[in-house]
Amino acid sequence: MSNSIHKFKRPLTVIVFLLPGLLLLALPFYRPGQVPFLFLFFGRLHPLILHFPIVLIILALLFEIANRYLKIGDGVTRVILTAAAITTLASIGAGFFLFASGDYAGELMTRHFWAGVITGTAVLTTTAFFFLTRTDGRFYPAYLVALLTSNIAVGYTSHLGGSITHGKEYLTEHLTLIMNDLDNKTMKAEPDMLLYDDMIVSIFEAKCLSCHNAQKAKGRLRMDSYENILLSGESGLPSVTAGSPEKSELFNRVRLPLDHKDHMPPEGKTPLTEDEVSLLEFWIQAGATDTLGVSAAKEDKDVAPIITRILPELLKYERKASIMELKSKSLRADLDVVAKTLNIFIERDTLSDENLFTIAMKFPPAPFTNDQFRELSPFYEVFSSVSLTSSGIDDAGLYYIGQMANVKKLYLQKTGLDGSGLVYLQNLPHLEVLNLSFTKIDDNAAIDLLKIPNLKEVYLYRTNTSKQVIDALSKNKPGLKILMEEGPYF
């Protein structure tokens, strides 16, 4: 009698796991209305809960492998899979409410949600086949395939989740570096090295070139070639005077105290080390030539130990530069795809020291609304200038713009803004220029401009703001320039 009851329970157990797994596949097609705050709170627990099924399904595979060779029994696996099934349902449930809140959207988010649902189905199917296997061993191959599929699905879903929170290539970016064999990157043999080409240039590239290049020549000084370094900058003083470090403006700037306003690189940038300053002094003193070999330079007993100490650091500089170049190429390729999909311009910001980009609408502008803008969410932090002139973005879309931490210029003229979303822009620490011309911004909304910490210019031509409020804004924020003109578009 007890044996028949035991056999009856197994199909029932299978249904308990298999049916919810199949029903999960319908979840992405369900769009709830207003979600109670209690469920939204539960959704916020998703990042905490999701780690349990990930670890458990991996452990189940490890115990299954161990059981094949060590015969440790399936009691532990039964507990692990049951716990994995339960926590998977909890994780997907929380993820669903997080998704339903509307705070997270876009293609990447949709793919992550679908991957999570498929993973859940795979985990529950694995658990069902596990119990079937204990009734009929012929189900074992199906159980093993489901277990392997679950682990693969967990890995892919985790990759998408990591991409959402840490960037699109979070889990895979180092594969590119491994394939390019950057760990084994080496420098030239010392007898073949030139002091300028192989050492001085590497220092300049690491510490100076981001501000002194063809696109952005601060102080009218370019350091992207030997010929340009020998020219004078904005000061009119020679950057390099062969044989005279004390008459070389470049050398004098890098050896100034760190808190001096003319010290180079400026505050916030990595300064030259003492050894690098000494090597620069030696190079200028030795004639500032581009033909002096490193071996010949090391014949000077004072500079030899400096070169020995610097060489390993230069290899790190070159490795870091190679990594940044590979990442930049990958990012550029991804942005090209997004730009084509959304029919907008995305270009490199040549005036930025960092790897940042600009967004601009094409003319005549294509339909571009909040939904399209959310497609940019994986890349929000790489934009420094955003021009959405004549687009369909509204005040709700300013919530997403408020997540673009590095944006400095924002052009929103001729949009449907009424100003109710301007409060979201107070989260932008670098925003300096804001164009709101030809919008419905009124006096109440304009007050929120005071909350944008570093705003320097705002254009309010043909808005609903009064002269009294504009005067009050100028009085309360003297550093803010309010311009009653149409203003630039990008």
Q: Which CATH number characterizes residue 438's domain?
A: 3.80.10.10
- Residues 122, 38 share a domain: yes
Same domain flag for 284 and 320? yes
Residue 331 is assigned to a structural domain of this protein: no
**Domain ends where: 324, 359, 381?**
324
Planar angle of CA 253, 259, 262, nearest 5 degrees? 30
Residues 54 and 89 both lie in one domain: yes
Tell whether 142 and 9 lie within a shared domain: yes
For residue 329, tell me if it sits in a domain: no
Most confident of 144-153, 177-186, 372-381: 144-153
Query: What CA–CA distance (Å, rounded) separates 112 from 291?
Result: 56
- Residue 299, pLDDT above cutoff 90: yes
Shared domain for 121 and 22, answered yes or no, is: yes
Which of 5-14, 205-214, 299-308 ranks highest by mean pLDDT? 299-308
Q: Average pLDDT for residues 131-154, to the nearest whole number?
A: 92
Residue 384 pLDDT exceeds 60: yes
Q: Tens of pLDDT along 214-265?
A: 777 888 898 989 999 998 888 888 999 999 999 999 999 999 998 888 889 8
| Long-range contacts at 74-82 (CB < 8 A, ≥ 24 apart) | 74/130, 74/134, 77/130, 78/130, 80/56, 81/56, 81/57, 81/126, 81/127, 81/130, 82/127
Indicate whether 230 and 364 sit together in one domain: no
pLDDT of residue 326: 74
Q: Are residues 72 and 133 in the same domain?
A: yes
Residue 62's pLDDT band, with cuts at 50, 70 and 90, is very high
Tell me what the pLDDT averaged over the chain comes to: 87
* pLDDT value, residue 105: 62
Residues 212 and 141 in one domain: no
Candidate from 116-120, 340-344, 372-376, 453-457 with smallest mean pLDDT: 372-376
Using the predicted structure, report yes or no on whether residue 201 has a pLDDT greater than 90. Answer: yes
pLDDT at residue 399 greater than cutoff 50: yes
Q: In terms of domains, do 118 and 32 share one?
A: yes
End of a domain among 265, 290, 324? 324
Whether residue 350 is contained in a domain is answered as yes
Query: What number is the average pLDDT over the span 11-18?
Result: 77
Structural domain tally of the chain?
Answer: 3
Is residue 179 assigned to a domain? no
Asked whether residue 333 is assigned to any structural domain, the reply reads no
Of 2-6, 343-347, 377-381, 451-455, minimum mean pLDDT range: 2-6
Of residues 211 and 1, more confidence is placed in 211
To the nearest whole percent, how much of the chain has pLDDT over 70? 91
Q: pLDDT band for 306, please (50, 70, 90 cuts).
A: very high
Is the same domain home to 208 and 133? no
Q: Is pLDDT above 50 for 202?
A: yes
Q: Is 60 exceeded by the pLDDT of residue 4? A: no
Domain match, 260 and 140 both? no
Give the pLDDT confidence score for residue 2 in this predicted structure. Answer: 44
Residue that is last in its domain, among 324, 358, 373: 324
Lowest mean pLDDT among 42-51, 175-184, 203-212: 175-184
Domain that holds residue 464: 343-483
Mapped to the 3 state alphabet, what secondary structure does the chain carry? CHHHHHHHHHHHHHHHHHHHHHHHCCHHHCCCCCCCHHHHHHHCCHHHHCHHHHHHHHHHHHHHHHHHHHCCCCHHHHHHHHHHHHHHHHHHHHHHHHHHCCCCCCHHHHHHHHHHHHHHHHHHHHHHHHHHHHHCHHHHHHHHHHHHHHHHHHHHHHHHHHHHHHCCCCCCHHHHHHHCCHHHCCCCCHHHCEHHHHHHHHHHHHHCCCCECCCCEHHHCCCCCHHHHCCECCCCCECCCCCCHHHCHHHHHHCCCCCCCCCCCCCCCCCCCHHHHHHHHHHHHCCCCCCCEHHHHCCCCCCHHHHHHHHHHHHHHHHHHHHHHHHHHHHHHHHHHHHHHHCEEEEECCCCCCCCEEEEECCCCCCCCHHHHHCCHHHHHHEEEEECCCCCCCHHHHHHHCCCCCCCEEECCCCCCCCCCHHHHHHCCCCCEEECCCCCCEHHHHHHHHHCCCCCEEECCCCECCHHHHHHHHHHCCCCEEECCCCCCC
The tens digit of pLDDT for each residue in 423-473 reads 999 989 999 999 999 999 999 999 999 999 999 999 999 999 999 999 999
Whether 205 and 314 share a structural domain: yes
- Cβ-proximal residues to 41 (8 Å cutoff; 6+ apart), any chain: none
pLDDT reported for residue 5:
42
Residue 409 belongs to some domain of the structure = yes
Does the structure show a pLDDT above 90 at 325?
no
Work out the average pLDDT over 177-187. Answer: 60
Lowest mean pLDDT of 134-138, 239-243, 383-387, name the range: 134-138
